Amino acid sequence: MLASTEVMDALKSIGLNLYERKIFVALLAKGVSTAGELSQIANVPRSRSYDILESLAEKGFVVAQPSKPIRYVALAPKDALERTKSNLERKHKEMLERIDKLAKSQVAKEMEMIYKEGFNMVQPFEMTGTLKGRHSINQHMHSLFKQAKKSIKIMTTEDGLNELYSNHYNVLKRLTKKGIKLKIAAPLSDNTPSNAFAQIAEVKDSGPHDKRLVVVDDNHLMMALSDGKKVHPTQDVVFWANSPHAVKSFAEPVFGQVWETSNN
């Protein structure tokens, strides 16, 4: 019995590549088999089948029998998924512990020194780039917010204000408690968390528009290059620059004009 497209797509969504999916489905159909037999059934190069089965065993989908030749046993799908989930949770926990340990180590301090020394040699025009995808954009924005020393200025849309609340409200709240000045210009309505932001920031109603701009201190700016309402979140694009000149000559005047014409 061949697996449906839905089955293959579902296995792909949890991290199995094409050969892994083919071999696993073939083993499900056979129950117990050798690498050679499975390579023929799944139409996978024999030379690759051993590595693929080893990978499936490591992920928790199959079990190898110590025989000659080695035979592989398919686990019941429900059991395989549970084992895979447990393996991923264990590896994730181990990786988090390693990262925490590294962050507190002398190695991290050495890397910071290397970064700072290298950063001093970088020209301002080199510290620019584009970010694609809402997840990457939010990650970078979160990082910039945490670097703020004096102020954060945000011009955004109604949807952007809702996303700002969902993704960044807590960090912005902590920063304002430390004395960081926060200004937000956005279309305000009953559908936006304007009351929540009013507790931590100066908020003005800019009226409807499609512009999104973030200015952090006198150094960083992020400017949307796409209409966030018209594009899929994965296709959203933002320009970022670490440039006091760009902030002073472009970002600050743009934000200032919108701020002055907005309603309290």
**Do residues 246 and 211 both lie within one domain?**
yes
Write the CATH number for 33: 1.10.10.10
Nearest to 59 by CA among 89, 27, 28: 89
Give every CB contact of residue 168 below 8 A, 6+ residues apart in sequence: 138, 141, 142, 145
Number of domains in the chain: 3
* pLDDT at residue 72 tops 70: yes
Write the CATH number for 203: 3.30.870.10
**Do residues 110 and 9 both lie within one domain?**
no
**Do residues 130 and 256 both lie within one domain?**
yes
How far from 141 is each of 55, 220, 238, CA to CA, in Å?
A: 37, 10, 10
* pLDDT at residue 3 tops 90: no
Per-residue pLDDT of 165-179, as tens digits, reads 999 999 999 999 999
**Do residues 107 and 130 both lie within one domain?**
no
**Do residues 205 and 98 both lie within one domain?**
no
Return the beta strands (E) in 118-242 as ranges.
128-132, 151-155, 181-186, 202-205, 213-216, 220-224, 237-242
> 226 in helix, strand or coil?
coil
How far from 104 is each of 43, 98, 119, 143, 248, CA to CA, in Å?
A: 49, 10, 22, 19, 37
Which pLDDT score, from 0 to 100, does residue 4 have? 87
- Residue 9 lies in domain: 5-75
Per-residue pLDDT of 25-50, as tens digits, reads 999 998 899 999 999 999 999 999 99
**Do residues 114 and 154 both lie within one domain?**
no
**Do residues 86 and 170 both lie within one domain?**
no
**Do residues 34 and 160 both lie within one domain?**
no
**Do residues 227 and 257 both lie within one domain?**
yes
Which pLDDT score, from 0 to 100, does residue 110 have? 83
Per-residue pLDDT of 211-234, as tens digits, reads 999 999 988 999 999 988 889 999
**Do residues 256 and 145 both lie within one domain?**
yes
**Do residues 142 and 246 both lie within one domain?**
yes
- Amino acid letter, residue 179: G
Quote the CA–CA distance of 61 and 7 in Å, as a whole number: 15
60 Rama class: left (phi>0) / alpha (psi -120 to 50) / beta: left
Per-residue pLDDT of 82-96, as tens digits, reads 888 888 899 899 999
Which pLDDT score, from 0 to 100, does residue 145 have? 95
Per-residue pLDDT of 151-169, as tens digits, reads 999 999 999 999 999 999 9
**Do residues 149 and 252 both lie within one domain?**
yes
Residues 20/57, Cβ–Cβ less than 8 Å: no
Helical H runs in 31-105?
35-42, 46-59, 77-103
